[in-house]
Structure 1
Amino acid sequence: MQNTMIKVMSFSPGVRTMCAFDCVSIIWFISAVSIGSEGLELQATSIVVAECGKNVTLPCNISLSGNLDIKLFGWLGENTTVCQYEKSKPEIEDVCELMMESPNYRLSLTLTNVMPLNEGRYLCKLRSNMGVSSATTVVKVKGCLQSSHSSINETHAECRFKGVASNSTIQWYQGDVDLTVFASTWKEEVQHGLYNVFSTINIEKGNPRQPYNCSLTPYHGRVFASQAVHTANEPGSSGNRAKLLWICFMVEIMMIKSLL
């Protein structure tokens, strides 16, 4: 049995159950503007990228010149009404906040504990005395990773990444040499659109004196988690250090006996 040393490096936050709004990490892109009747604009952020497990707020603003009588103002997600204000039914769902102080009108939708299931297109809609308008926001989620683990034996090295996006994949390297073609990778769905991804590789296909590196690459193409797996034959590996510690231990015993 080979001795091993496994070093785990994580460059991404794990999934958290809840996070206050002030810790949200969002990338804002150019705003989408929908022009309805003359003098009225409905404005929403076109793309929002949110950190997995955090909260994100989608604003929808009305810009106008003139008097406005709102009949309906709401957010839809995947053809389902998330929240909606109606003049005849002024109550609104808790996930939304409505501001109606002329000339400032805003309906903000807050998604809590964002997961891959929350990804998609959200539509802000308005019906008023000035016509019908709509604007779209696309939500993307990044950084999903609950935990990672690696192990190695005489024949195979294994890496596991839990709680990741569905289209994440694992790549294997030794230095600049891509060994992914020699690996077997599979995944299982858990919950909230998250997956566990597993991968094993035959270490006989690589150089026994170099460490293996398995990297998790999500759909946006950038590595955000990596693990270095060291073999016992690698210089400076745990196996060699264990032998050195054993020698020092034996020498110390011999010195103690000589003093008795």
Structure 2
Amino acid sequence: MCLLSTRSTVGGVEMYTPPKVFAVCGQNVTLSCLVISETVLDEAEFTWKESKDLCGSSNSSDIKCEKGVKVVDSTHQYNLSLVFTNVQPHHKGTYHCKLNSKQGTKNSETILRIQSCVGKTSVSVTSEVGTCKFEDVYPKPQTVLWWHGGTRRETLKTEMIENPDAKYTVISSVKLWRPPYPFHTTAQS
């Protein structure tokens, strides 16, 4: 995961969020939103949103909000973390940390990008055709390459099927030469 922080300041209130977060499938990912104020925030509503409020009562089990408040050197620090358990491609998007209080309104966004999902791979071989199946692949590969003894071979057929979870199943076949081994394949994004 890679993080960088941006800062937004209005009326003595500063907000820090990472502008972009890159994560690998299956990781637990935390998007942090830190608000620093010289005074206590009155009637503060502090939340993460995407297309809906993510810190409300309708949370899904794989996304949680964690709140914290502390006073450091006479400043008040408010932190609202959005925690993804087992991040997946459907979590990608732009998330907004929002603060509404008597001192003003603040908004800062974080873009979450998902990369490098690869599930299981299986191989089947007949007397004439070799087939590789890659499951739970993300992002969608541009091509599948077949190699035999260091030489690239022409693919007979490649099928890429998008699954409901935004991952892909990729099935690719190649005509076998004698002897049929060693072959290897790579899926390239």
Alignment of 1:67-78 (within 5 A): 67-77=40-50
Of the three residues 82, 85, 93, the one matched with 2:54 is 82
Aligned-partner Cα distance in 2 for 1:172–1:184:
11
The structure with the larger Rg is 1
Correspondence for 1:193:
166
For 1:98, give the aligned amino acid: K
Query: 2:123 matched to 1:123?
Result: no
Secondary structure of the 1:162 match is strand
Correspondence for 2:66:
97
Query: 2:16 matched to 1:32?
Result: no
Change (3 A) 1:198 1:133: same
Of the three residues 208, 211, 215, the one matched with 2:186 is 215
CA contact (8 A) 2:115 2:139 kept: no
For 1:34, give the aligned amino acid: S
Aligned-partner Cα distance in 1 for 2:104–2:152:
58
For 2:101, give the aligned amino acid: S
- Post-superposition offset of 1:29: 2.4
Higher share in strand: 2
Aligned-partner Cα distance in 1 for 2:13–2:156:
57
Q: RMSD in angstroms over aligned alpha carbons?
A: 2.6
Query: 2:124 matched to 1:133?
Result: no
For 1:155, give the aligned amino acid: E
Correspondence for 1:252:
none
Aligned-partner Cα distance in 1 for 2:184–2:96:
42
TM-score, structure 1 as length reference:
0.61
CA contact (8 A) 1:28 1:45 kept: no
Aligned-partner Cα distance in 1 for 2:58–2:124:
52
For 2:155, give the aligned amino acid: F
Aligned-partner Cα distance in 2 for 1:116–1:170:
21
Alignment of 1:1-260 (within 5 A): 27-35=1-9, 37-77=10-50, 79-84=51-56, 95-102=64-71, 103-168=76-141, 169-174=143-148, 177-179=151-153, 182-204=155-177, 208=179, 211-218=182-189
Q: How many residues align?
A: 181
For 1:149, give the aligned amino acid: S
Aligned-partner Cα distance in 1 for 2:162–2:15:
38
Deviation beyond 6 Å, 4+ runs, structure 1:
none
- Post-superposition offset of 1:198: 0.4
Gaps of 5+ in 1: 1-26, 85-90, 219-260
- Post-superposition offset of 1:70: 4.4
- Post-superposition offset of 1:197: 0.8
Percent identity of the aligned residues?
A: 28
Secondary structure of the 1:187 match is strand
CA contact (8 A) 1:32 1:136 kept: no
Change (3 A) 1:122 1:183: farther
For 2:82, give the aligned amino acid: L
